[in-house]
């Protein structure tokens, strides 16, 4: 690939008439392009294979291999198919524009050549190429970041699992060997520890599956389950965190969902955790879980009346580490919503939101049922 910052572009001109070649060559080299010339289609194919140019100006009427044929062969070869081809045609020859585009040409220039027209058409194609290359680079970077995140998740859940095993065996020893020395409160606390670490083990297991499953549906089990019940359990656990403030929590009963219960639990837990966190500074905090019907689709929602946010700034909320609030005010890492989105997309569903500063936030989601 050429470094386009140094060079303006490497152009190959293919024409069996030397005067045409000379004319275009002079025009384009004056503009600072690097120009190569060949007199036949066959030569063109050879040259392109050895050192692919950024752009080809290709005459149509040539003996043996004509321009259409050359273009078709270039487009059929993976290594050359992305090189843009501009056709050259004389005004008096029958030029079939449709065929020109059908065989893969991107533009055409008619003879007699006019300096300005040639330059503009060439520049257009080179600019497009440049944008395409930049996009490809961005995509590659994104892929890399994704891979890193995946292996990061994998490693974290693996390490957490090891630590948790140690904690679990100590809890077990404590209750077996020293349980009788504890009073009722002590025993109750030990039970909470046991339940919590069991729950944590489940979560790690689910996250592990999530990081392994990448973006295919293979590992997703589809079962219908009582989502209201799941939400109730999560809220009960959250209530321990809700300390001083009494929060109004409304949970619609008998809401069922179809999907992977373990994963959906993680998703809803993250949404409720946010709803709880972002109502911590609200006067009369209120959190609601419910369901509504939109056309034929079941839409679930988690709604709060907390700090909200400016939706104009919310573009990247579902990207890892994106946060709209100060760490000192509302602590967090910014991984929650990225996980939620991932889980929902694994189910073929969608997630979106509605928010207003100081009035609250609602997250809506579907599971593609």
Ligand X SMILES: Nc1ncnc2c1ncn2[C@@H]1O[C@H](COP(=O)(O)OP(=O)(O)OP(=O)(O)O)[C@@H](O)[C@H]1O
Binding positions for Mg ion, 260-299, rule CB under 5 A? 274
Q: What residue has token string 């059929």?
A: 76
CB 236 within 8 A of CB 222: no
The secondary structure of 71-136 as a DSSP string is HHHHHHSTTTTTS-EEEEEETTS---HHHHHHTT--EEEEESP-HHHHHHHHHHHHHHHHHHHHHH
Q: Which of 125, 157, 211, 361 binds ligand X (CB under 6 A)?
A: 361
**Of the listed pieces 58-66, 83-91, 299-307, 334-342, which binds Mg ion according to CB under 5 A?**
334-342
- Token readout for 182 is 């504890």
Q: Does 333 bind ligand X (CB under 6 A)?
A: yes
Cβ proximity to ligand X, 285 vs 308, nearer residue: 308
Q: Does 29 bind ligand X (CB under 6 A)?
A: no
Beta carbons within 10 angstroms of residue 207's beta carbon = 20
Cβ proximity to ligand X, 97 vs 281, nearer residue: 281
Rounded to a whole number of angstroms, the minimum distance from the CB of residue 243 to ligand X is 17
Q: Which of 334, 345, 364, 368 binds ligand X (CB under 6 A)?
A: 334
Instruction: Count the residues of the shown chain that bind ligand X, applying the rule CB under 6 A.
Output: 22
Rounded to a whole number of angstroms, the minimum distance from the CB of residue 217 to Mg ion is 25
Rounded to a whole number of angstroms, the minimum distance from the CB of residue 202 to Mg ion is 19
Residues 6+ apart with CB under 8 A from 163: none
The interface partner of residue 333, options being ligand X, Mg ion, none and the CB cut-off 5 to 8 Å by kind, is ligand X
Residues 6+ apart with CB under 8 A from 95: 60, 87, 89, 108, 110
**Of the listed pieces 58-66, 200-208, 336-344, 351-359, which binds Mg ion according to CB under 5 A?**
336-344
The interface partner of residue 268, options being Mg ion, ligand X, none and the CB cut-off 5 to 8 Å by kind, is none
Q: Does 207 bind ligand X (CB under 6 A)?
A: no
Q: Does 161 bind ligand X (CB under 6 A)?
A: no
Cβ proximity to ligand X, 113 vs 301, nearer residue: 301
Cβ proximity to ligand X, 30 vs 199, nearer residue: 199
Instruction: Reduce the secondary structure of 268-284 to three states and give it as a string.
Output: HHHHHHHHHHCCCCCCC
Q: Which of 208, 325, 356, 368 binds ligand X (CB under 6 A)?
A: 325
- Token readout for 183 is 């009073």
Binding positions for ligand X, 237-296, rule CB under 6 A? 270, 274-275, 278
The interface partner of residue 366, options being ligand X, Mg ion, none and the CB cut-off 5 to 8 Å by kind, is none
Interatomic CA distance for residues 93 and 114, integer angstroms: 18
Q: Which of 105, 259, 306, 349 binds ligand X (CB under 6 A)?
A: 306
Q: Which of 153, 320, 336, 349 binds Mg ion (CB under 5 A)?
A: 336
Interatomic CA distance for residues 369 and 366, integer angstroms: 7
Cα angle 302, 303, 306 (rounded to 5 degrees) comes to 135
- Residue 294 belongs to what H/E stretch? strand 286-294
Interatomic CA distance for residues 246 and 234, integer angstroms: 16
Question: Which residues contact ligand X (rule: CB under 6 A)?
Answer: 270, 274-275, 278, 304, 306-309, 317, 322-325, 332-338, 361
Question: Which residues contact Mg ion (rule: CB under 5 A)?
Answer: 274, 336
């Amino acid at each position: 690939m050429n470094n386009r910052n140094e060079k303006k572009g490497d152009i190959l001109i293919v024409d069996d008439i030397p005067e045409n070649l000379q004319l275009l060559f002079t025009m384009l080299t004056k503009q600072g392009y690097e120009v190569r010339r060949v007199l036949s289609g066959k030569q063109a194919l050879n040259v392109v294979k050895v050192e692919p140019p950024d752009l080809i100006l290709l005459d149509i009427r040539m003996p043996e291999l004509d321009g259409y044929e050359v273009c078709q062969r270039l487009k059929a070869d993976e290594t050359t198919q992305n090189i843009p081809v501009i056709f050259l045609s004389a005004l008096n020859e029958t030029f079939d524009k449709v065929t020109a585009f059908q065989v893969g040409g991107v533009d055409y220039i008619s003879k007699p050549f006019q300096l300005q027209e040639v330059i503009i058409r060439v520049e257009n194609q080179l600019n497009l190429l440049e944008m395409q290359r930049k996009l490809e680079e961005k995509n590659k970077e994104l892929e890399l970041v994704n891979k890193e995140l995946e292996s990061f998740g994998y490693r974290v859940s693996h390490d957490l699992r090891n630590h948790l095993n140690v904690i679990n065996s100590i809890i077990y020893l404590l209750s077996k060997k020293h349980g009788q020395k504890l009073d009722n409160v002590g025993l109750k606390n030990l039970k909470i520890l046991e339940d919590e670490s069991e729950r944590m083990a489940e979560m790690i297991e689910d996250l592990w599956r999530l990081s392994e499953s990448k973006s295919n549906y293979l590992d997703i089990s589809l079962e219908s389950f009582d989502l209201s019940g799941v939400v109730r359990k999560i809220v009960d656990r959250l209530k321990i965190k809700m300390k001083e403030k009494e929060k109004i929590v409304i949970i619609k009963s008998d809401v069922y969902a179809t999907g992977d219960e373990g994963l959906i639990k993680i998703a809803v837990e993250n949404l409720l955790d946010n709803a709880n966190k972002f109502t911590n500074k609200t006067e009369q905090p209120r959190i609601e879980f419910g369901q509504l019907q939109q056309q034929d689709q079941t839409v679930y929602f988690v709604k709060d009346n907390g700090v909200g946010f400016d939706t104009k700034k919310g573009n990247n909320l579902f990207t890892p580490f994106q946060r709209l609030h100060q760490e000192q005010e509302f602590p967090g890492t910014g991984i929650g919503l990225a996980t939620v989105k991932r889980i929902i997309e694994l189910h073929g569903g969608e997630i979106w939101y509605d928010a207003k500063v100081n009035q609250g936030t609602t997250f809506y989601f579907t599971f593609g049922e």
